[in-house]
Structure 1
């Protein structure tokens, strides 16, 4: 099964190049490419992507704003931020909005393909440059925390099992194997976990589970 990918990128040359790479590589298919964020919701409904390659700066709604809305309206779609920016604020604004990964436009094509695959299987890829900034950020006092709230989360036993496997660092594919359930069933459980914990990403879910003493 091909990984369905939609591209939001205002640079035509890069947008066309990414589309050509995806359609020319076995296992991937570009189902839509868009130059702005004006009609983002209709574009996603039309293209039905598994993964979105999302630019940050583009006409209309920017990529960070769209990413936050995608996690709410299309929870089964993963967003991979791709941008020329590598400053800490933009990285964390993107991740806090629910992005699953963050790569730089300067990364080689093979890294894009690897990141798309990793995101599709529940991973959270970052380029080495971005990862270094993330580690640096976590070592300072401005560490972003999920605010503690009620510890009475109505998780089912299966959802608790899936969340526990997420906390242990497993991606969705591994969770499927270890819990003996289908990949799509895992995605459904994760969607319910996000809703019940009031979070929008795997990192937030894991952080909240640890802060609330769920595991």
Structure 2
């Protein structure tokens, strides 16, 4: 069973999220908080596998909280849960290490699936956010951008990673082994000078690295 901590300042919504998550045999809520003021102590106490994180909270916002969580343990998965769909907040969350981005309007139909996907190593996104990511990839190539030496194959894997595919899903899509996927992604991280998938995705989006 995967454990989940919730950060949401709307008391009614937070209670509903607890009920929904606890109703699934796969998950158990171990922490539920209205703000991130004491997130370091709370995460160290609860040690959740997944954090469901609102962005607009009093005191310390969710974008700052993501960074705090990842500094405690980069293995803790963080799923953003917000009403905001703008590029600035999306890229800020990804840059700080967020593993997924779910809009609150999609909670009823996508939350449990998104929690499952993020627990399995994927990067789930609401359809609207995924479309925004695709639009970013489809922007005209910037001739002045830095050339990191990313191959066409590596670009393909990076795009699938950005769209929320797990390593296993990428392997099936590309007809290669999971170990080969890991090797390709490790090469990508080294070329982009990043430490993990979310940093690679954020950099690819920010610098429009996709052809």
2:194 paired with 1:199:
yes
When the two structures are superposed, what TM-score results if normalisation uses the length of structure 2? 0.72
Q: Is the 8 A contact 1:97 1:200 kept in 2?
A: no
CA distance in structure 2 between the partners assigned to 1:142 and 1:59 by the alignment = 39
Q: Is the 8 A contact 1:56 1:64 kept in 2?
A: yes
Query: What are the ranges of 5 or more consecutive residues in structure 1 without an aligned counterpart?
Result: 152-162, 180-185
Q: Is the 8 A contact 1:36 1:59 kept in 2?
A: yes
CA distance in structure 2 between the partners assigned to 1:136 and 1:90 by the alignment = 16
Q: Which position in structure 2 is the counterpart of 1:156?
A: none
Query: What are the ranges of 5 or more consecutive residues in structure 2 without an aligned counterpart?
Result: 172-176
Deviation, 1:31, is 0.6
Q: Deviations over 1:54-101 (max 9, x none)?
A: 000101211111112322221110110010111121111111111111
Q: Which position in structure 1 is the counterpart of 2:41?
A: 42
2:51 paired with 1:56:
no
Q: Is the 8 A contact 2:3 2:27 kept in 1?
A: yes
Alpha carbons of structure 1 residues 22 and 135: separation in structure 2 relative to 1, 3 Å: same
Q: Which position in structure 1 is the counterpart of 2:92?
A: 93
CA distance in structure 2 between the partners assigned to 1:32 and 1:69 by the alignment = 16
Q: Which position in structure 2 is the counterpart of 1:25?
A: 24
CA distance in structure 2 between the partners assigned to 1:205 and 1:11 by the alignment = 32
Q: Deviations over 1:11-61 (max 9, x none)?
A: 001111001111121111001011011000111111111111000010121
Q: Is the 8 A contact 2:95 2:203 kept in 1?
A: no
Q: How many residues align?
A: 185
When the two structures are superposed, what TM-score results if normalisation uses the length of structure 1? 0.71
